Structure 1
């Protein structure tokens, strides 16, 4: 029996009773999250059709990653509508409510969450820590141990980011002191330059006034000479 027919004409984000898909899914409630057809064109939320359409998409929108495109460039891409039809080869479902029987490989095994937060402030928020508490010991709660390729047992925990330690505070103080030193050096160099510039301008004015005085004395001597001969 083709249970897929029970999903026809349903939309993305619509919930489906698992009894329609088979006896093994009795009691389950699924949610349609998407799908694609035999040619690989994906379904897109908000497109109210059961067939393919060509949409002008920009980078970052669903169904178009846009790698290698210019900033703001849009491309016309083929996508399927959000309504399930017989052309689909894959339909993605999410379990909303668990049923009576376990699904082998899906609900019969529990996988613990291995990845915890890395940022120090988020670790403090997770464990309700204060400002002065050390977060490094709390990361070990989600440290995982496993066997590497050589068969050796190793453990791994995320590296804490933005961790405030005496070394980071020392580096911050050193950066601030270096910045103040650079500012003071620039100010002293600017003051020396202004002083040297004022000195050069004064020397230039003195030379100009001296040359003007010599020129005036030559002109006065030249005007006195014809008067004496007459």
Structure 2
């Protein structure tokens, strides 16, 4: 059985929500690619559509949108996501995951693309009192 931590960002409210996905909800992510839109119903966000923006595997290696495939590869990076050079012209070979979601992923990052009728706080059962206690 596959389990994912899905971090859904709400750009209107400027907040992010951690959602545990297991079973059928997690199986809906396997085989999808970064940039794909999926329905939020299995995550408890009925009426919402979310876009997958990234993720990482169990060792913390991040996935890149522009790297096709499902496996891990060592690629030469000069800038951008996964490597931030300290010197001008610096390049480094780094391990990066492909853009396809597999069972090796632990965390999936997503952003809300289309909003539903109810608020996210209402759907996830979050209230101001519960957040103050945390």
For the criterion TM > 0.5, the same-fold answer is yes
How far did residue 65 of structure 1 move?
Answer: 1.1
* SS of residue paired to 2:68: coil
How far did residue 105 of structure 1 move?
Answer: 8.4
* SS of residue paired to 1:77: strand
The structure whose residues are more often strand, as a share, is: 2
Aligned residues: 104
Say what the alpha-carbon RMSD is for the aligned residues. 2.3
How far did residue 98 of structure 1 move?
Answer: 1.2
Residue 13 of structure 1 pairs with residue 66 of structure 2: no
Residue 66 of structure 1 pairs with residue 88 of structure 2: no
Residue 42 of structure 1 pairs with residue 62 of structure 2: yes
How far did residue 104 of structure 1 move?
Answer: 2.0
Whole-Å Cα distance in 1 between the matches of residues 74 and 123 of structure 2?
A: 36
Aligned to 2:26: 4
How far did residue 37 of structure 1 move?
Answer: 0.9
Whole-Å Cα distance in 2 between the matches of residues 77 and 42 of structure 1?
A: 10
Structure 2: give runs of 5+ residues left out of the alignment: 1-21, 128-134
Q: Deviations for 1:102-126, whole angstroms, at most 9, x for unmatched residues? A: 22289989xxxxxxxxxxxxxxxxx
Q: TM-score, normalised by structure 2?
A: 0.69
Residue 86 of structure 1 pairs with residue 103 of structure 2: yes
How far did residue 86 of structure 1 move?
Answer: 0.8
Aligned to 1:119: none
Ranges of 4+ aligned residues in structure 1 off by more than 6 Å? 105-109
Are residues 106 and 18 of structure 1, via their aligned partners in 2, closer, same or farther at CA, if it must alter by over 3 Å? closer
* SS of residue paired to 1:93: strand
Aligned to 1:51: 71
* SS of residue paired to 1:53: strand
The structure whose residues are more often helix, as a share, is: 1
Contact 2:61 2:97 in 1 (8 A): yes
* SS of residue paired to 2:50: strand
Are residues 105 and 93 of structure 1, via their aligned partners in 2, closer, same or farther at CA, if it must alter by over 3 Å? farther
Q: Deviations for 1:64-99, whole angstroms, at most 9, x for unmatched residues? A: 1123xx321211000000111111111001001112
Whole-Å Cα distance in 2 between the matches of residues 89 and 77 of structure 1?
A: 20
